């Protein structure tokens, strides 16, 4: 009797409290990792996809194991390589070629080749392919990861959109490239917008507000704060929030940017139906127990990955 009572059952490590997700999204536990999936993409039989979380993995930071997928200074390259293999296996893409980019906040869209070396990625911030066996992977730690699938022509794309790439219309241009290079009809595209820093946590300065306000007619809808034009015309529009508060205050009013909303607008403007664009709603800064955030953690943070590929 005592022997039976003393036997302990080995259990999986407990997870943080699950964040609230829209009904089109699900967290799945696979191979010791937790992967975020867009259910509309998961129902497509010829592709694999997923957005990583920080849970699991072989990287060590402050005595804790985590799934860092970027070659950052604090991490060991061998551990990152092992993490990438584990993540690919968790997606069911263990035999596929990991295909990344040297991201630099541009609007450059690349069409990778199967024979290209995975150890020497080219510069760019979006990729598209109809080739089988390539796992397109974009890294983020607050920026917006977007995965696209043309369900008719079997084409996929992965996009990394920071504020500079968003201002340069990278999501819009990627859909345009799919049309030009592969004959994609935007109405056949399903888009998944993964975890990114949301307007609740993404305070921006005058340069960012000026950039968006001078280019995008609906920019005021993407900012949380007194985003009111002082003048109109052809010149870049200044905003009231750039003025200081009454005497006694020593800083401009806060304005926060919703990058996910700006990229959703670009996808819709490019012709992707609103009903086929799915956003996770997760903020990387708010959910530090699940996700990495450069804005919250600084240099000692990891990198998440949004990945998609054709089987």
pLDDT digits (tens, 9 = 90+) for 187-206: 999 999 999 999 999 999 88
What is the helix (H) or strand (E) element at residue 66, kind and residue range?
Answer: strand 64-66
pLDDT higher than threshold 50 for residue 244: no
pLDDT higher than threshold 80 for residue 308: yes
What percent of the chain has pLDDT above 70?
A: 85
What is the helix (H) or strand (E) element at residue 138, kind and residue range?
Answer: strand 134-140
> What integer is the mean pLDDT of 276-287?
98
Kindly state whether residue 10 falls inside one of the protein's structural domains. no
Q: Mark whether 134 and 280 lie in a shared domain.
A: yes
> What integer is the mean pLDDT of 37-63?
97
Kindly state whether residue 8 falls inside one of the protein's structural domains. no
CA distances from 291 to 55, 65, 87, 218, 238 (A): 8, 13, 15, 29, 35
Please measure the distance between the N-terminal and C-terminal CA atoms of the chain and give it in whole angstroms: 52
Q: Mark whether 87 and 26 lie in a shared domain.
A: yes
With H, G, I as helix, E, B as strand and everything else as coil, classify residue 161.
strand
What confidence score (pLDDT) does residue 235 get? 45
Kindly state whether residue 7 falls inside one of the protein's structural domains. no
For residues 192 and 49, the answer to whether their CB atoms sit within 8 Å is: yes
What confidence score (pLDDT) does residue 161 get? 98
What confidence score (pLDDT) does residue 253 get? 58
The pLDDT mean for the chain works out to 90
Q: Which domain holds residue 220?
A: 203-257
Kindly state whether residue 233 falls inside one of the protein's structural domains. yes
What confidence score (pLDDT) does residue 7 get? 41
For the whole model, what pTM was predicted?
0.90
For residues 34 and 18, the answer to whether their CB atoms sit within 8 Å is: no
What is the helix (H) or strand (E) element at residue 165, kind and residue range?
Answer: helix 163-167
In 3D space, the residue among 299, 290, 258 whose CA is nearest the CA of residue 51 turns out to be: 290
Which of the 8 DSSP states describes residue 61?
A: E
* CA gap 18, 289 in Å, rounded: 10
What confidence score (pLDDT) does residue 115 get? 72
pLDDT band at 12 (very low <50, low <70, confident <90, very high): low
Q: Mark whether 161 and 251 lie in a shared domain.
A: no
pLDDT digits (tens, 9 = 90+) for 14-23: 788 889 999 9
Q: Mark whether 161 and 72 lie in a shared domain.
A: yes
pLDDT digits (tens, 9 = 90+) for 147-196: 999 999 999 999 999 999 999 999 999 999 999 999 999 999 999 999 99
Q: What torsion, rounded to 10 degrees, do the Cα atoms 256, 23, 263, 121 define?
A: 110
What confidence score (pLDDT) does residue 206 get? 85
pLDDT band at 113 (very low <50, low <70, confident <90, very high): confident
Q: Mark whether 185 and 73 lie in a shared domain.
A: yes
- CATH of residue 130's domain is 3.60.140.10
């Amino acid at each position: 009797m005592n022997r039976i009572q003393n036997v302990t059952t080995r259990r999986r490590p407990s997870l943080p409290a699950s964040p609230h997700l829209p009904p089109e999204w699900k967290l799945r536990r696979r191979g010791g990792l937790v992967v975020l999936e867009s259910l509309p993409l998961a129902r497509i039989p010829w592709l694999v996809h997923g957005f990583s979380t920080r849970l699991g993995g072989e990287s060590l930071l402050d005595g804790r194991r985590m799934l860092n997928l970027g070659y950052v200074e604090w991490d060991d390259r061998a551990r990152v390589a092992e993490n990438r293999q584990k993540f690919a296996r968790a997606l069911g893409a263990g035999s596929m070629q990991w295909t990344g980019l040297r991201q630099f906040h541009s609007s450059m869209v690349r069409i990778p080749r199967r024979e290209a070396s995975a150890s020497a990625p080219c510069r760019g911030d979006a990729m598209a392919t109809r080739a089988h066996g390539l796992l397109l992977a974009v890294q983020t730690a607050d920026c917006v990861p977007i995965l696209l699938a043309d369900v008719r022509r079997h084409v996929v794309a992965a996009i990394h959109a920071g504020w500079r790439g968003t201002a340069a219309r990278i999501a819009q241009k990627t859909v345009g490239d799919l049309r030009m290079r592969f004959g994609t009809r935007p109405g056949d595209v399903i888009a998944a917008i993964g975890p990114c820093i949301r307007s609740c946590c993404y305070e921006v300065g005058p340069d960012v507000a000026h950039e968006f306000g001078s280019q995008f007619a609906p920019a005021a809808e993407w900012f949380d704060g007194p985003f009111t034009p002082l003048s109109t015309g052809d010149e870049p529009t200044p905003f009231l929030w750039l003025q200081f508060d009454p005497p006694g205050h020593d800083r401009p009013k806060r304005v926060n940017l919703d990058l996910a909303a700006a990229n959703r607008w670009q996808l819709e403007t490019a012709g992707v139906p609103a009903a086929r664009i799915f956003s996770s709603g997760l903020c990387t800064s708010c959910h530090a127990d699940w996700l990495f955030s450069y804005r919250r953690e600084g240099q000692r943070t990891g990198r998440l990955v949004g990945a998609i590929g054709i089987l």
